[in-house]
Structure 1
Amino acid sequence: MPSSPPVALVTGAAGGIGRATALALAAEGSAVAVLDRPGTDLKSTVTALEAVGADVLPVEADVTVAAEVDAAVALAQDALGPLTQLASVAGVLRTGMLLDTTDDDWALQMAVNATGPFHCLRAAGRVMAANGGGSVAVVSSNAAVVPRQNMLAYAASKAAATALTRCAGLELAEHGVRCNVVLPGSTDTAMLRSLWPDSELGTQAALNGVPEGYRVGIPLRRIGTAEDVAELIAFLLSDRASQITLQTIAVDGGASL
């Protein structure tokens, strides 16, 4: 009898890297539960997946609420089969220097970018361990490893997610669960575009660097795409990466040099 297809849960799937990841996993044969918070355009992702013949399940949930994440994992398993892949992509960015960052901005980014992956890793880790294995990719940021001005809370939250994932991977290895971290740099998504009132000037600053902000440019001289990141995630979640765990891999054109 043919083996069952992989079953994936992708958070932050309404757009950007999350949507591209869901499509990349579907192209490799995974059934995909796509998760995003209520009020997002999750329907467009579902439509795109259905158009390529994917087995898809939309799930509305808030990754900052543990009970909602637990319920989402249970729903995905009930509807699609044993969960074998997790892509934790949901994230939020509010810029601000140390002296101007509010408690609310700090709390929100920690809740979504660090506590969210914790909830997802814990819920998925429990069922994957019981299922006999699986693979996890958590989307962090190159800001987690390279200091950035005006992104202090975001960078701290992504650094927390990076450490969380590697520690979880160490603990889950005995259960056959692999955990890796993906570090995007400047990627053409709505989040990046929201930082640039002038798209042309923003692009040039990213490519050339900002010396007064102690920031180098991008050696490959291009802004990344959501698909660039999604392809790495799909690889890490596949059996082709069966000996890769506890790694952090940048997809930033060399910007984190």
Structure 2
Amino acid sequence: MHVGNSVHWTKWTVSILVFVILDVTLGVRINKLQVPEVTHIGNPVVLDCDYSWEETKDEGLVVKWYFNEEKIPVYQWIFSYNLLSGILKGRLNLEYSVSQDKNSKHRALHITKPGPDLSGDYTCLVSSFNNEDRRTKSMLVFVPEKNLDLRQQRIDEEILQVLCSAEGVFPKPDMSLLMGSSEVNGSLVTVEERDGLFDIKARANIPALVSPEEFSCELRIPKANYTVRKEAVYYPGAYGTALIFLLKGQ
């Protein structure tokens, strides 16, 4: 009796497994979602949603892309036509095809001119009559500085002021002032947002120098793994002149 029950449960378990396998086979599955973590403003970029689907066993394939928490897709492809809405209007190459397979030809987003407002989460949802699959990844569109300016000026006979500024950066950057290899104590850093971008300034007052000294200003965008540095040598004199001689970046 015990053996019979074991056989009964084994057959039932196998049946369930077969049913689950068939159900997965009949549906869609996202194999890989390719979204660059970081991209440069203005550089065309492709977001690809690679999926598997068996046309002979399923119907009603639809590919949708969502941006952040929006409920309405910013892109939707249903075989012979695609639909756009929201932030991606006018910013996609609708002729782009990622493959020649008619079932996945226009699954990808080819963004021609990404801007910082396109930084965020992208969700690909692939659905059919049988099931659906979705995945989400984030992309950052970073904007480097328009310029990085490092200046020194005499406040009076006793005080030298070091100033550094950068404009039009995204996302929010960090900045530090250095004298030699050490950070200048008491540096004041301010950041202002303007039209979705950030302007940043750093300033510090130090005792007037009697001999040449090297100063550095370092601008960092940690999320983009971006750092740029400007260096200057200050030569004491009647006018407090400085020589800018090196700009480093990565």
Q: What's the TM-score once normalised by structure 2's chain length?
A: 0.29
More strand by share: 2
Which structure has the greater CA radius of gyration? 2
More helix by share: 1
Q: What's the TM-score once normalised by structure 1's chain length?
A: 0.28
